[in-house]
Structure 1
Amino acid sequence: MAVVSAVLATTHHPFFYRETELTPPERRRPEAAEWKRKVEAYRETLTAARPDLLVMVGADHFHQLFYDNYPTFLIGKQPRYDATWHNEERYFGLPTFVLDGHEDLSGHLLQGLMDRGFDFAVSHELKLDHSITCAILAVRPEGDLPIVPIYTNIFAPPLARPARFYALGQAIRDVIEAYPGDQRVAVIGTGHLSLEIGGPRQFQETAPDLEFDRRAVEWLADGDIDAILENVTPQVLEAAGNATDGFLDLVLMLGVAGRGKAHHADHLELFQTTEAFFTWYPQGDPR
């Protein structure tokens, strides 16, 4: 049977690539060198796991899913995926990708998750945005591994509760481990800590709610799902910033990882947001 060789939960700051690769050194922000160093160290946590396949969890930023038709959970089932939308190239300088898919694992996950009570939508024409491409650039810039993308609704209310995201993570782990074969599967999910988009706190030099971020980093590093379920409500997320619901995808990743401290935990407080990086090794730390 397949094994989950690594679980990675991280934020996805779309300006990372532009700030650390495209901007001349003399014009980069003071944090750029440390930011790049942290991302490169994080990349090594995936490399050490020697994955054959990637299951990628993210969210569509209203590129092809909208308020009138935004499924709670969706899986892609295609032989390949185009990635990066025009506005992401224009605003963030993100490169384009064509990523191979893995239709057989997509189908296995779709059926297995439905059997476990998660009614997924499925897309055969999904184009990926920066919730997935930012993770590819960070931890597998070669883009050489087949992927299965899973999108969750973290934008268009009503949203599923944190406990539902956590349970989905547990189910994803179970279904992957029931997949026949000897593949090593890494599950990588991206989300947000406190974040404001289009609101009065968007252009601050720090995240809108550093106290929430610091507590969230501690909860995730410790694998403390009990504290998350006790403290994280829709009202808490909204108060931390109007896009902080992206934290739900990090809760999902904790469900995949299971209880226990992260083998790698790091963060960096930046302009407009806090970046965070967590890795768990369900089969034991290979480093």
Structure 2
Amino acid sequence: MAPLAAVLGTTHHPFYYKASTATGDDRPPFADEWQRKVEAYRETLTAAQPDILVMVGADHFHQFFLDNYPTFLIGKAPRYDATFYNEQREFGIPTYVLDGHEDLSGYLLQGLMDRGFDFSFSNELKIDHSIICPIITTRPEADLPVVPIYTNIFAPPLPSPKRFWDLGRAIREVIDEYPSDKRIAAIGSGHLSLELGGPRQFGEHGPDPEFDANAIEWLANGDIEAILDNVTLETLAGHGNATHGFMDLILMMGIAGPEKAAYVDNFDLYHTMEAYFTWYPNGAPA
């Protein structure tokens, strides 16, 4: 059975690449510390020595829209293009071509369907920054095959937080049953409190620092009971109009299980709280 080498839950700020590669007067004052934290986090994946990456993210209305947004989707392509023009223009994110892993994609699709998750699939998916930013921060070589999974955190009606947790648990079951000796790592990105285009955008900190502190503690401790007691679609909206991305971090904790994270870090980046979590389900690497 395939070893699950690591599970990473992270934020996906599209400005990181531009900030970390800037020099001279163009380099933001926070870039050095942000880069140091990201490079330390990257080592948690490198140490796991993965062969395949299962990547969880969400499409930012680049190819799915309010009239036809899949609840859950898996890519089944031999390769994936990234990124979109507006991401290149605004944030300087470079283009990529990522290799896919069609066998694991098909195995996950069937296994998740068997467990009651009616997935869509795509043979021509294009990847946006919800997956490319974690590639840049955790595996900048972009040298491993990926299985992209997209979730709906944007277009109502949304799945519940409990559904994201259950999906994470199901993904873990299927990976554990996958007949291979390849080392699999799961990397998923979401965010904590976040406001996009609303009155609380670009403040001195995220729109709800109290929620951010609680969310980091819940994830760090694997406390799914506290999450499900406190997090609903309605409360997430109250923390910021884009805070539903937190559900992808719940999903990642679902893959890891209700366990304490082996690595936890965060960075208060004025308008948002960046956060980084790593679990080693089969024990920390030597």
- TM-score range (shorter-chain normalised) is over 0.9
- CA distance in structure 2 between the aligned counterparts of 1:7 and 1:25, rounded to whole angstroms: 36
Q: Which residue pairs with 2:4 in the alignment?
A: 4
TM-fit CA distance, 1:25: 3.5
Give the distance between the partners of 1:93 and 1:207, measured in 2 at CA.
23
| TM alignment of 1:188-203, pairs within 5 A | 188-203=187-202
Give the AA of the match of 1:10: T
Secondary structure of the structure 1 residue equivalent to 2:47: helix
Indicate the residue corresponding to 1:91 in structure 2: 90
Aligned to 2:23: 24
Partner of 1:125: 124
Name the structure 2 match of 1:146: 145
Structure 1 residue 209 displacement after superposition: 0.8
Task: Indicate the residue corresponding to 2:262 in structure 1.
Answer: 263
Q: CA deviation at 1:184?
A: 0.5
Does 1:246 find its partner at 2:245? yes
Matched, 1:81 2:80: yes
Between the aligned partners of 1:92 and 1:205, the Cα distance in structure 2 is 21
Q: Which residue of 1 aligns with 2:54?
A: 55
Which runs of 5 or more structure 1 residues have no equivalent in the other structure? none
Identity %: 68
Structure 1 stretch 23-32 or stretch 128-137: which is displaced more?
Answer: 23-32
| Displacement of 1:145 | 0.1
Deviations 1:18-49 (A, max 9, x none): 0111x223333322111100000000000000
Partners in 2 of 1:175 and 1:110 — Cα distance? Answer: 9
Give the letter aligned to residue 201 of structure 1.
R
Equivalent residue, structure 1, for 2:169: 170
Which residue of the partner structure matches residue 228 of structure 1? 227
Aligned residues: 286
Hey, what's the Cα distance between the residues in 2 that align with 1:77 and 1:205? 41
**Gapped runs of 5+ residues in structure 2?**
none
Bigger drift between 78-87 and 204-213 goes to: 204-213
C-alpha deviation, 1:110, in angstroms: 0.3
| Aligned residue type for 2:16 | F
3-state secondary structure, aligned to 1:29: coil
Any idea what SS the aligned residue of 1:56 has?
A: strand
Structure 2 Cα separation of the partners of residues 97 and 135 of structure 1: 13
Q: How does 1:210-225 map to 2 (within 5 A)?
A: 210-225=209-224
Task: Quote the offset at 1:90 in angstroms.
Answer: 0.1
Q: Counterpart of 1:276?
A: 275
CA distance in 2, matches of 1:25, 1:4: 41
Higher deviation after alignment, 197-206 or 275-284: 197-206
Using the alignment, how far apart are the partners of 1:245 and 1:193 within structure 2? 8
Opposite residue 208 of structure 1, the aligned amino acid is P
Distance in structure 1 (CA, Å) of the matches to 2:185 and 2:232: 29
SS in 1 for 2:127: coil
Q: Secondary structure at the match of 1:49?
A: coil
For the residues of structure 2 that align with 1:204 and 1:11, how far apart are their CA atoms?
Answer: 18
Measured on the aligned residues, the alpha-carbon RMSD in Å equals: 0.8
Aligned partners of 1:239, 1:181: CA distance in 2, in Å? 44
Deviations 1:187-227 (A, max 9, x none): 00000100011111112131111111011001101110100
Q: Which letter does structure 1 place at the counterpart of 2:8?
A: L
Q: Specify the code of the residue in structure 2 equivalent to 1:129.
A: D
Residue aligning to 1:66: 65
For 1:52 and 1:206, locate their aligned partners in 2 and report how far apart those are by CA, in whole Å: 37
Q: Distance between the aligned counterparts of 2:275 and 2:32, measured in 1?
A: 16
- TM-score normalised over the length of structure 2: 0.99
Letter in structure 2 aligned against 1:183: K
Q: Which runs of 4+ in 1 moved over 4 A?
A: none
Q: Secondary structure at the match of 1:74?
A: strand
